[in-house]
Amino acid sequence: MAKKTKAPTEKDCLAMMLSVRDALDVISGKWKILILISVIYGNKRFREIERSIPNISSKVLAKELKDLEDRQLIKRTVYDDSPVLVEYTATDYSNSVSEVIIALYNWGQNHRMKIMGKRR
């Protein structure tokens, strides 16, 4: 109703930052997104996920998985306990991250081409 003659500035800028920072809190770090990708792509077992992500260590993976589970971005299910069978799966919530992942993917591809082309 009311007209806001002003273009977006300080307040919008800050609001933008706050939400973005929330998002970054969750998905920032070297591994979280990669783990999400792996799980969304269908990897379920610990070693499977580990192998799918170059250079990740089991310690880091365990820690990040726990973190992601806490935030309900993945679901951990224990199926057995003789040789211990655990499965990690995506949740609706983790699927909602897809847009972010896609955006990162697109931009990253573009960026890669740019640096490949240019300097060095």
Residue ranges in contact with its own copies by CB under 8 A: 7-10, 12-14, 16-24, 26, 28-30, 33-34, 37-38, 41-43, 52-54, 93, 96-97, 99-112, 114
CB of 28 to its own copies, least distance (A): 6
Residues 14-73 that bind DNA (CB under 7 A): 29-31, 45-48, 55-60, 62-66
SS (H, E, C) the chain: CCCCCCCCCHHHHHHHHHHHHHHHHHHCCCCHHHHHHHHHCCCCCHHHHHHHCCCCCHHHHHHHHHHHHHCCCEEEEEEECCCCEEEEEECHHHHCCHHHHHHHHHHHHHHHHHHHHCCC
Residue 78: both structure tokens together: 């224990």
Nearer to its own copies (CB atom), residue 57 or residue 107: 107
In whole angstroms, the minimum distance from the beta carbon of 76 to its own copies comes to: 18
* Interaction partner, residue 53 (its own copies, DNA, none; CB < 5-8 Å by kind): its own copies
Considering the complex, what minimum distance in angstroms separates the CB of residue 118 from DNA? 22
